[in-house]
């Protein structure tokens, strides 16, 4: 395939993925917006007023970047795992893998769709957050790059989950037992400086912590660790999961009988 044909293949997959979640926006975009609004009301206004300032910022301002990042992570992941498994279940993926389309194009198309949904939900949640707090953008490009890289990372994780899933129940295992604990223990609602030294060290093993802190630095200008560390951790996971995902597609794992 020449460059134009590759672009057409990528663009087609991307448009299919975008149309997939925009057509059912009441199921894909609206629910996380409502859920996050409840977080703002309960944790931000009611509980936050009792906690006081956090790292020199109001509590609702402090948790706002984490809540946005949490919705980006879950929706980027959910988009790819559901879409890829659905295509695998219907046999579409097997047809794509035996076509002249390079596997990296297929991978890029699905991941880009996950990134698109993650950003769409992130923007919607950000707009809703303006009803509860003011948005102070300290480092726009850091914020934008962190959110795109994080969405790409969890899109890759969703694809790997979909490859190994044997039924629809399997695609819910990782979000329930892995993503939820990681996000809630990833510094969304607190600073790790509040923890004991032992739990601070344990928290450093949580990759979501670096993403939340990198994003918080982009918005508020504060973080529990240097922002370059966040970039290094995110890029390392992207390279590892990206390489593994491409390896699975090349082998046809879970997609070819």
Give the residue, 4 or 145, on which the prediction is more confident: 145
**Three-class SS state of 57:** strand
Q: What is the pLDDT of residues 132-148, one digit of tens each?
A: 888 778 899 999 999 99
Model confidence at 157, pLDDT cuts 50, 70, 90, reads very high
Q: Using a pLDDT cut of 90, give the percent of the chain over it.
A: 56
Q: How far apart (Å, rounded) are the C-alpha atoms in residues 87 and 100?
A: 18
Residue-range domain boundaries for the chain: 3-251
Q: Are strands 53-54 and 57-58 parallel, antiparallel or unpaired?
A: antiparallel
Model confidence at 256, pLDDT cuts 50, 70, 90, reads low
Q: What is the pLDDT of residue 244?
A: 96
Report the predicted TM-score, pTM, of the whole model to 2 decimal places.
0.93
- From residue 45, how far is each of 58, 71, 126 by CA, in Å? 10, 19, 16
Q: How far apart (Å, rounded) are the C-alpha atoms in residues 186 and 175?
A: 15
Q: How far apart (Å, rounded) are the C-alpha atoms in residues 146 and 123?
A: 14
Q: What is the pLDDT of residue 47?
A: 78
Q: What is the pLDDT of residue 257?
A: 54
* Mean pLDDT within 189-210: 89
- From residue 187, how far is each of 46, 162, 191, 206, 256 by CA, in Å? 19, 27, 6, 10, 40
Per-chain mean pLDDT for the chain? 90
Q: What is the pLDDT of residue 74?
A: 94
* Mean pLDDT within 189-207: 88
Q: What is the pLDDT of residues 11-59, one digit of tens each?
A: 999 999 999 999 999 999 999 999 999 988 887 777 777 777 777 888 8
Buried b or exposed e, range 138-160, using 16+ CB within 10 angstroms: ebeebbebbbbbbbbbbbbbbbb
Contact in structure between 34 and 71 (CB atoms under 8 Å): no
* Mean pLDDT within 232-240: 97
């Amino acid at each position: 395939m020449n460059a134009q044909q590759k672009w057409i293949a990528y663009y087609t997959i991307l448009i299919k993925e975008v149309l997939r979640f925009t057509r059912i926006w009441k199921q894909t975009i609206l629910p996380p917006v409502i859920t996050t609004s409840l977080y703002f009301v309960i944790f931000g206004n009611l509980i936050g007023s009792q906690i006081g300032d956090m790292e020199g910022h109001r509590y609702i301002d402090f948790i706002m970047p984490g809540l946005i990042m949490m919705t980006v992570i879950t929706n980027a992941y959910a988009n790819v795992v559901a879409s890829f498994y659905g295509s695998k279940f219907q046999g579409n993926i097997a047809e794509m893998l035996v076509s002249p389309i390079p596997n990296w194009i297929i991978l890029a198309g699905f991941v880009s769709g996950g990134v698109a949904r993650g950003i769409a939900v992130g923007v919607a949640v950000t707009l809703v957050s303006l009803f509860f707090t003011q948005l102070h953008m300290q480092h726009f490009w850091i914020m934008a790059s962190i959110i795109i890289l994080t969405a790409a990372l969890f899109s890759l994780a969703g694809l790997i989950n979909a490859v190994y899933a044997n039924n629809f129940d399997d695609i819910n295992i990782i979000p329930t037992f892995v993503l939820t604990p990681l996000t809630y223990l990833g510094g969304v609602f607190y600073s790790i400086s509040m923890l004991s030294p032992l739990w601070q060290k344990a928290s450093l093993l949580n990759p979501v912590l670096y993403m939340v802190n990198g994003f918080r630095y982009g918005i508020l200008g504060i973080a529990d660790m240097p922002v370059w560390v966040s970039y290094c951790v995110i890029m390392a996971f992207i390279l590892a999961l990206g390489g593994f995902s491409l390896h699975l597609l090349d082998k046809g794992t879970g997609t070819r009988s």
